[in-house]
Amino acid sequence: LDLPIIEGDFMSLRLFAEGAAETEWLRDAVGDHDAGLALDLLYSDGSFKNWGAAGGLMGRVAILNWRLEYRYYTGIFRPSLFDSTYDKSRVENAIAYSNYITSGGYSDAPTVMGVYGEGSFSIMKDKLSMTLGYMWPWTPGKTATWQLANAQDEFHARLVVQKGLIPIFDVAGAIFYDKHGLVQSIRDDSFQFLDANTSFGGELVIPVPKTPMLDVAVIFAAVPERNDKSGQIVLGSDGLPTLKPSISFETRLHF
């Protein structure tokens, strides 16, 4: 839902609110829980659970777009389960949900509250844009020391170049960098530009000469390393997936 407050070419402002709920479909029984859709994660004991909501303000001033919102999560809810770090964290997510389901202690109390801020700008007739976002979540009832040691803050950065910025080649592209647990890694002096909590990649889109509807995309990313024989993700000495560079090519047809 959104409610416009100011609408103009130079400045705009609107209120917004959104919500979602999350559950699991179990292929097999987990503990005492039967296979199938786990509806009791959503509603049990007379209350709704495992849901999240956000609300705040978003707007624009000249070339700057901004967004500031308050987030409120219950249970094990996450607003972006299938994000750019999913391939690296899906095993941890599955284990977390399995433990949560077998615990049976589904609560409607808040587990995470936090403020998310995002800013972006575009120049050169929207041909070049940059977006930065950050969320600092806190768990109710925990000390500041505990928050620093355990909070999974999120940092997001994205640079996009549209076609037309480089007229000689007319290429387009994007680079993105997403990291979870940034403050914790700095505090523990364990920060690494690329690790299991990081997603880094991008793409370069090149038009095919004399074929205006066809492009070739070169996509690069840091992905989990897999065993050549078993296909299983290779874990390092710290128990987290090891990473390796990946480059792929796509042909894209557009109208």
Residues 77 and 6: their CA atoms lie apart, in Å, by 33
What pLDDT, on a 0 to 100 scale, did the predictor assign at position 8? 87
**What gap in Å lies between CA 41 and CA 173, rounded to an integer?**
41
> Which residue, among 51, 29, 27, 23, has the nearest Cα to 102 in the 3D structure?
29
Q: Which of 37-46, 180-189, 237-246 has the lowest mean pLDDT?
A: 237-246
Q: What is the structure's pLDDT at 119?
A: 96
Segment 77-89, tens digit of pLDDT: 887 777 666 766 7
Q: What is the overall mean pLDDT for the chain?
A: 84
Q: What was the pLDDT predicted at 28?
A: 87
* pLDDT for the residue numbered 84: 62
Tally the residues of the chain.
255
- The answer to whether 33 and 102 are in contact (CB under 8 A) is yes
Of 25, 99, 86, 115, which Cα lies nearest the Cα of 223? Answer: 86
Pick from 66-75, 230-239, 246-255: least confident: 230-239
Question: Residues 205, 220: contact at Cβ < 8 Å?
Answer: no
Smallest CA-to-CA distance from 224 within 27, 92, 26, 135 is with 92
The pLDDT score that the predictor gives to residue 190 is 79
Q: How far apart are CA 182 and CA 199, in angstroms?
A: 12
CA dihedral 203, 209, 212, 213 (to 10 degrees): -60
Write out the E strands in the chain. Answer: 2-6, 11-21, 25-26, 36-37, 43-44, 47-48, 51-61, 64-74, 110-123, 128-138, 154-161, 172-180, 198-208, 211-224, 243-253
Q: Is the pLDDT of residue 235 over 70?
A: yes
pLDDT in tens, 154-182: 899 999 998 878 777 788 999 999 888 88
Pairing state of beta strands 2-6 and 11-21? antiparallel
Helix residue ranges per DSSP H, the chain:
86-103, 144-150, 182-187
Residue at 216: amino acid letter? V
* pLDDT tens per residue across span 107-166: 888 888 889 999 999 888 888 999 999 998 887 778 877 877 777 788 999 999 988 787
Tell me what the mean pLDDT of segment 225-253 comes to: 77
Instruction: Name the pTM for this structure.
Output: 0.69
Q: Does residue 239 have a pLDDT over 70?
A: no
CA 184 from centre of chain: 18
pLDDT of residue 131: 95
The mean pLDDT of 7-35, rounded to a whole number, is 89
